[in-house]
């Protein structure tokens, strides 16, 4: 059974609650840091671009795609 962490995030002045597994929160924070963005800003971008009804699902897909792209880039460079 997966454990979830619920966190409130401000998206464009509107506070919303998001539940994710700890590994996805960690990945999301790492990506925000690397991009020099706040967590709220990054989640706001994901929210604006999402094509799925569920924000938590859109965040998971974003994190997965980000790290998959990093792997693909490393393979091209090698």
pLDDT tens over the chain, length 78 residues: 569 999 999 998 999 999 999 999 999 999 999 999 999 999 999 999 998 779 999 999 999 999 998 888 788 887
What pLDDT shows up at residue 53?
79
What pLDDT shows up at residue 75?
81
Alpha helix ranges (H) inside the chain: 22-34, 39-49, 55-77
What domains are defined for the chain?
Answer: 5-77 (1.10.3990.20)
What pLDDT shows up at residue 27?
97
Burial grade of 15 (CB within 10 A; 0-12, 13-18, 19 or more): exposed
What pLDDT shows up at residue 1?
55
């Amino acid at each position: 059974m997966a454990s979830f962490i619920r966190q409130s995030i401000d998206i464009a002045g509107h506070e919303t609650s998001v539940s994710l597994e700890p590994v996805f929160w960690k990945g999301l924070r790492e990506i925000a840091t690397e991009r020099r963005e706040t967590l709220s800003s990054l989640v706001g971008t994901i929210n604006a671009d999402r094509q799925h009804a569920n924000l938590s699902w859109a965040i998971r897909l974003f994190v997965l795609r980000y790290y998959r792209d990093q792997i693909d880039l490393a393979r091209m460079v090698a």
